[in-house]
A = this chain, B = another copy of it.
């Protein structure tokens, strides 16, 4: 039970503020995250990590010399926004580039991925390393699909040590990816966790049972079994991981992690048995860790992570670090930072634009205004639809995101921005204000679309159609959904396909768009027959049959508004 809070919606932000106050020696609070409060050498690769809140000490507790330079914190169990990731990276960058580490979840892949693209566009070299250690979440031959759990600590520790050693971004990336390849975790849950403000646990485990491989946000596990003794539990955890022991591995760095309500003394009891199992397997244990490293609010359970060491990994695993929750070896000199961090976003500036492109920018801003109006009106209905398969906040997110996009587009258009810049600014604002996966998806959709435009010209009809394809590519490259997953992609794919096909046939944008919008609507309706395949919604999957996907409906609605807008623009 999460019991202590004022407003549940402020929980994550307030917790981060409290953490930063207590650990002022280690960190400074910035918008959306924390950065080191100690001096960092110029030119050092910045290791920036993050993810949702509710997992303390992940991720802010890892910030310190020899580990991370900064951490981005989203809402409870929700990815931080693209803007937050980008902002924290800008603060952390010392000119040596940024290694962005995060657990392999759809929302994080999206927001960290889009942030990386934005930062690269600004001239900051950024590499991303999604952590994929949870062997319960996918088979070894599709390891890239695995979730990140307590292996986060392991991979980020190696990355931080490599960066602290002064290695180049190429090298830090290589070593971090190698560490991820060599890190495996397996966990069990005995009981659920409760979100701030909720009256019931997010999930439950049957009394006397343990859920094997249950995820740190309650994602389904692989089976439920009777709770066993510490000795048997150690055999189970170690056994699962030994199955993936690379040939010839002689040394291992273990992390035995408590998920929240499983206490240190229980972990120590388990450690005695784990140590025995590892030694029995002929493994030498190097600098084991046992405690809370990646929690899940007050979830009851634990996980074991193993890093299969070679000489290089051992060096970086043993290297000193000094973060709130992990300290090793001799303390690295940590002089207090003296620079002033300005956390205010300055006024947006835009590239010079041609008159024609400026006019198009204004037109785009007007269209986004129409979309925002329509989504505002549809808020309750979208929320109702979403509640069948999700948490019912889709309408709210779409309203907030589109309103922010409208504001940003208006500001950009009034400042004389061209078509590409207006649409990109709208997309960024949408992602940053809407939050969640759908906000990031819409931000990505608009920003990718804007790549077909320029600030030098009025976008041609062909460019508009090309933009649709880029938008789809962007969404499917960083998002994870495919057709049939009951997401926005189910409507977006037929829309883009129809738009391209009909434009090729008729050469008329209005006619093609009209047909494409109808295709999107039909496809959105057809999602009623699907069950969602992604995320935490599985327990609700049955309930959603017979109801369309809210994201697909939103896309169809937007396509419809745009179709009408195009006709009006020609008529008007």
Contacts and interface: CB of A to CB of B under 8 A. Distances in A.
A339 to B, nearest CB: 23
Contacts of A11: 265, 269
Interface stretch (A50-58, A429-437, A546-554): A50-58
A5 interface: yes
Interface in A217-238: 227, 229-231, 233
B297 A3 contact: no
Contacts of A331: 330-331
Given A231-B6, A266-B2, A290 B190 contact: no
- Specify which of A2, A6, A21, A231 lies most central, judged by the most chain B CB atoms within 10 Å of its CB: A6
Nearest to A17: B272
Given A17-B272, A229-B6, A190 B1 contact: yes
A230 B19 contact: no
A15 interface: yes
A273 to B, nearest CB: 8
A297 B300 CA distance: 12
A23 to B, nearest CB: 9
Interface in A12-62: 12, 14-19, 21-22, 53-54, 56-57
A14 B272 contact: yes
A281 to B, nearest CB: 17
Nearest to A265: B15
Contacts of A16: 268
A18 B263 contact: no
Contact of A5 (B18, B21, B266): B266
Nearest to A296: B263
Task: Report whether over half of chain A's contact residues are helix, strand or loop; otherwise say mixed.
Answer: mixed
A4 interface: yes
Interface in A374-401: none
Interface in A477-536: none
Contact of A6 (B230, B265, B268): B230
Given A271-B21, A290-B18, A4 B302 contact: yes
Contacts of A260: 261, 263
B271 A230 contact: no
Interface in A384-426: none
A275 to B, nearest CB: 6
A267 interface: yes
Given A18-B269, A22-B271, A268-B18, A3 B290 contact: no
Given A272-B14, A275-B21, A54 B1 contact: no
Interface string A270-283: 11110100000000
Interface in A53-104: 53-54, 56-57
A191 interface: yes
Given A4-B233, A190-B3, A229-B6, A53 B22 contact: no
A229 B5 contact: yes
A289 interface: yes
B4 A56 contact: no
Contacts of A269: 4-6, 11, 14-15, 18
Contact of A272 (B21, B53, B271): B21
A360 interface: no
5 contacts: A1-B300, A4-B233, A4-B270, A6-B230, A56-B268
* 10 interchain residue pairs of minimum CB distance: A18-B268, A4-B266, A15-B265, A18-B271, A15-B268, A261-B261, A18-B272, A56-B264, A22-B290, A19-B268
Interface of A: 1-6, 11-12, 14-19, 21-22, 53-54, 56-57, 190-191, 210, 227, 229-231, 233, 260-273, 275, 288-290, 292, 295, 297-298, 300, 302, 327, 330-331
